[in-house]
Amino acid sequence: MTHHSPIKELKKKLRLEALGRRDALTTETRIEGSMRIADIGLASFALDADAIVSGFWPIRSEVDLRPLLFGLRERGARLCLPVIIDKQTILFRELVRGAPMVETGFGTAGPPAEAAVLDPTFMLVPLAAFDARGHRIGYGAGYYDRAIARLEDKGLNPRLVGVAFDCQEVEIVPDEPHDMPLEAILTESGLRSINRTDKSIR
């Protein structure tokens, strides 16, 4: 695909518009929204006893997932965060209470190199924009699509829940064959399950 394909251009436009709306939220709105997201997630998610939950540390104006992640850890989930290994790859390192955080690329922080690498069973997926069908626009580098494909190649089928603010919704995300649709979207107004015919929800 060329870099000027119509789909890529449209995705870029939708990404920038959605991130512009997110950036425009006040700090108070973001904090309140993040706390609502934590409450809804904790009330809604039924996790297996041995769940390994991947989250993300907030950068720029992202949802602050820490209240939700720490609440899930209280329930026995193991937590992990994405770490950029090279231009193509993210791995998920275990987030252990009290361990130091190090720079992990793109202005994000994550667990240090000696942390265990885990394969998440339940992924809270960052996104720039989403639609009602559960399609997401990431930040443009494709790391999550590749990470999810790699897990599925290993026979793992992690649950995929996108987390965002309502203002990041767009009417339609143009989908491409490599896109990994989400099974649910969690925002400050609730958890929306997507009725998938093509991906079973466990």
Q: Is the pLDDT of residue 141 over 70?
A: yes
In sequence order, the 6+-apart residues with CB closer than 8 A to the CB of 157 are: 151, 202
Would you list the DSSP string of 144-158?
HHHHHHHHHHTT---
Question: 185 in a domain, yes or no?
Answer: yes
Of the listed ranges 96-110, 114-128, 151-165, the least confidently predicted one is 96-110
Mean pLDDT in residue range 11-32: 97
Q: Is residue 14 marked as binding?
A: yes
Report residue 89 as tokens. 């790859």
Q: Is residue 138 marked as binding?
A: yes
Helical H segments across the chain, by residue range: 6-23, 27-44, 66-74, 143-153
Position 37 scores a pLDDT of 98
Q: Is residue 143 marked as binding?
A: yes
Mean pLDDT in residue range 77-85: 93
CATH classification at residue 149? 3.40.50.10420
| pTM for the structure as a whole | 0.91
Q: Is residue 137 marked as binding?
A: yes
In sequence order, the 6+-apart residues with CB closer than 8 A to the CB of 43 are: none
- Does residue 152 contact residue 108 with C-beta atoms inside 8 Å? no
Question: 180 in a domain, yes or no?
Answer: yes
Structural domains in the chain (count): 1
Question: 58 in a domain, yes or no?
Answer: yes
Mean pLDDT in residue range 8-24: 96
Question: 53 in a domain, yes or no?
Answer: yes
Mean pLDDT in residue range 156-185: 93
Question: 98 in a domain, yes or no?
Answer: no
Matching residue, tokens 């041995």: 50
Q: Is residue 140 marked as binding?
A: yes
pLDDT digit string, tens, across residues 93-103: 999 988 888 88
The boundaries of the domain holding residue 65 are 6-76+122-193
Question: 18 in a domain, yes or no?
Answer: yes
Q: Measure Cα distances from 43 to 64, 126, 145, 169 in Å.
A: 17, 20, 28, 23
Report residue 40 as tokens. 């809804």
> What single-letter amino acid sits at 165?
F
Q: Is residue 11 marked as binding?
A: yes
H, E, C per residue of 10-25: HHHHHHHHHHHHHHCC
Position 38 scores a pLDDT of 98
Q: Is the pLDDT of residue 167 over 70?
A: yes
pLDDT digit string, tens, across residues 24-80: 999 999 999 999 999 999 999 999 889 999 999 888 899 999 999 999 999 999 999
Question: 108 in a domain, yes or no?
Answer: no
Pairing of strands 78-84, 52-54: parallel
Q: Is residue 13 marked as binding?
A: yes
Question: 152 in a domain, yes or no?
Answer: yes
